Amino acid sequence: MTAVLTVAMPKGRIFEEAADMLREAGYPLPPEFEDNRKLIVEAPEAGMRFILAKPMDVPVYVEQGVADVGIAGKDVMIEEERDVYEVLDLKISTCYLAVAGLPGGIKDKVAPKVATKYPEAASKYFREQGEQVEVIKLNGSIELAPLIGLADRIVDIVSSGRTLKENGLVEYEKIMDITSRLIVNPASYRLYSDTIHTLVERLRKVTDSKEAAR
């Protein structure tokens, strides 16, 4: 059975790479897809309907079943811990989660503070390290925190390292590699199994051929 799949796409960083990838996998997306301000985009030729969401919200839409599949960064998956299938590593938007701070190391050893957009991931990491820290959640411009003395370290994603450098920060430790994943709602995964597995296999071919070319 062929079903129209609802796909939750993250706006921003991952979006264009993900759209290119779907095209490479043979899904004809409308040309105006990228510069659209609409939140819902129909792509009947691809048998898909797209919803454009904040990256952090993609797993929510998928878990709740209003989107059948979605594309989400591993960083978001760790932070959100949603009940969805993580079926394929798309190997796009490669970056990593790292601890960074001012050069010269950690000054405040009494009550160390860590600022981050990823409180769950950060708490988990420091717990594993056996280190006691206070995690402060920020929603953006994390690099500001050590500069202004809010925290002496930050946990954030690093792709080129430029943002860190421009703000005079250095990386202390790498926590983990991050790539984007194809995620699937558990019920959709069973009900539209054929359509979804076709999508997975086609995308897998694209990632594999890219891997081979590298």
Partner 1 sequence: MPKPFVFEKPAGMRDKLPLFFQASEQIKQQLLNKISVWGYQMVQTPTLEYFDTVGEASAISDQQLFKLLDMEGSTLVLRPDMTAPIARVVSSSMKQVAYPLRLSYSAPVFRAQQREGGRPAEFEQVGVELIGDGTLSAEAEVLALMSDVLKETGIQRFTITIGHIGFVQELFIEILGNAERAEELRRFLFEKNYVGYANFVKNMPLSSIDSARLLKLLECRGGEDALLKAMELAGTEKAKKAVSDLMQLKKILGDYGAEETVNFDFTLLSHMSYYTGIVFEGYAAGIGSPIAGGGRYDDLLSRFERSAPAIGFAVRLDYVMEAIGQMPDTSSRTCILYSGERREEALRIAAEKRSSGTPAVTQDITGVENVDTFTNRFTDVIYLIGKTQGEETK
42 binds partner 1 (CB under 8 A): no
Question: Per residue, what are the HEC states of 48-74?
Answer: EEEEEECHHHHHHHHHHCCCCEEEEEH
13 vs 91, which CB is nearer to partner 1?
91
Among 18, 43, 84, 199, binds partner 1 (CB under 8 A): 84
Residue 197: CB minimum distance to partner 1, A? 8
170 vs 187, which CB is nearer to partner 1?
187
Q: Identify the helix (H) or strand (E) that includes residue 21.
A: helix 15-24
Among 64, 94, 129, 209, binds partner 1 (CB under 8 A): 64
168 binds partner 1 (CB under 8 A): no
Please enumerate in sequence order all residues whose Cβ is within 8 A of that of 121, keeping only pairs 6 or more positions apart, or say none: 75, 78, 79, 97, 155, 175
Strands (E) located in the chain: 5-10, 40-43, 48-53, 69-73, 85-89, 95-101, 113-116, 134-137, 153-158, 170-178, 180-184
Residue 211: CB minimum distance to partner 1, A? 13
85 binds partner 1 (CB under 8 A): yes
Cα 151 → chain centroid: 24
176 binds partner 1 (CB under 8 A): no
Residue 77: CB minimum distance to partner 1, A? 8
185 binds partner 1 (CB under 8 A): yes
CA distances from 37 to 18, 34, 41, 152 (A): 17, 9, 9, 38
Residue 42: CB minimum distance to partner 1, A? 19
Structural contact between residues 134 and 68, judged by C-beta atoms closer than 8 angstroms: no
88 binds partner 1 (CB under 8 A): yes
Interface with partner 1 (CB under 8 A)? 63-66, 83-89, 181, 185-187, 190-191, 193
